[in-house]
Amino acid sequence: MEIVDAVDLFHQYVLVERGLSPQTWVSYLEDLQAFFNYFSDKKDTSDLLETDLYEFLKFELSLGKSVSTALRRLSSTRSFYLFLKKEGYFTGNIPDIETPKKPKHLPNCLSEEEIDRLLEAPDLTSPSGIRDRAMLETMYSSGLRVSELLNLKRGQVNLNKCIITVFGKGAKERKVPIAEYAVEYIKKYISEVRNKSEFKKSDYLFLNRSGNPLSRVYFFKKVREYAELAGIEMTISPHTLRHSFATHLLNHGAQLRMVQGMLGHTNIATTQIYTHVSSEKLKSDYDKIMK
């Protein structure tokens, strides 16, 4: 069968039998066009070979295409081959190709010196500055998620024992320690700001001017503002504090299981990404020293 006719049959199969959207077909077609642009001599299904998929993948990667793009094109083309085999137009074996893994996105992480500058950025002569310093200190020293920080209630914080009881994803409870610095600033915020507020009876610990918990958007903007004041060029978010907390613990020899428990990760594989960040930091520091 001519390739043009085979592609047309595959088109009908994708839309009718598999019920995929026209947009999905457009993606399939673009990938198949790339494949047949490379194998321009293949005019008939009898010209297709078992080695074509592997060769096409190597070619895509040699062009500098991203791993994601190369894998998508391989998947589309392999689906075409599987369809042809099912219909009897391809009799060869379709190999299970060991594909390169998509690169993991390593989270942004501040250095310990950058963290110090960020924590010192709020203006302690203003009530909001005292509150923000307490929030930043708490988040960095405990690794809380931003939602956990913003919804933190007074009853969850034991300032005498330096422990926070957190109700994370799936309402799972965990207890995490907080640094003495964080405790000091929470006490300062409570005594100098919160206890003087008309909303001092609120269950929530950190309040805005209206007596409500801060919004994610507002806190995100404040972290960005403080990063700019601290001269931090990297684009960061509140979550960067959580990433930095985990990475710095590992840099100082903390056990992975301990960090997993503090972060509230169900799967340790989620925590393991910070070991890569830690290794990258170590390599970067080594390179700077050896230059």
Active site residues: 145, 169, 239, 242, 265, 274
In contact, 129 and 104? CB cutoff 8 Å: no
Q: d(Cα 29, Cα 126) in Å, to the nearest integer?
A: 60
Degrees, nearest 5: CA angle 169-170-174:
65
Residues in contact with 188: Cβ distance below 8 Å, sequence separation at least 6, in sequence order? 130, 134
CA 207, CA 187: separation in Å to the nearest integer? 14
- DSSP labels for the chain? -BHHHHHHHHHHIIIIIS---HHHHHHHHHHHHHHHHHTTT--BGGG--TTHHHHHHHHHHHTT--HHHHHHHHHHHHHHHHHHHHHTS--S------PPPPPP-PPP---HHHHHHHHT-S-TTSHHHHHHHHHHHHHHHH---HHHHHT-BGGGEETTTTEEEEE-GGG-EEEEE--HHHHHHHHHHHHHTGGGSTTTT-SBSSB-TTSSBPPHHHHHHHHHHHHHHTT--S---HHHHHHHHHHHHHHTT--HHHHHHHHT-SSHHHHHHHHHHHHHHHHHHHHHHH-
CA distance 15 to 22: 7
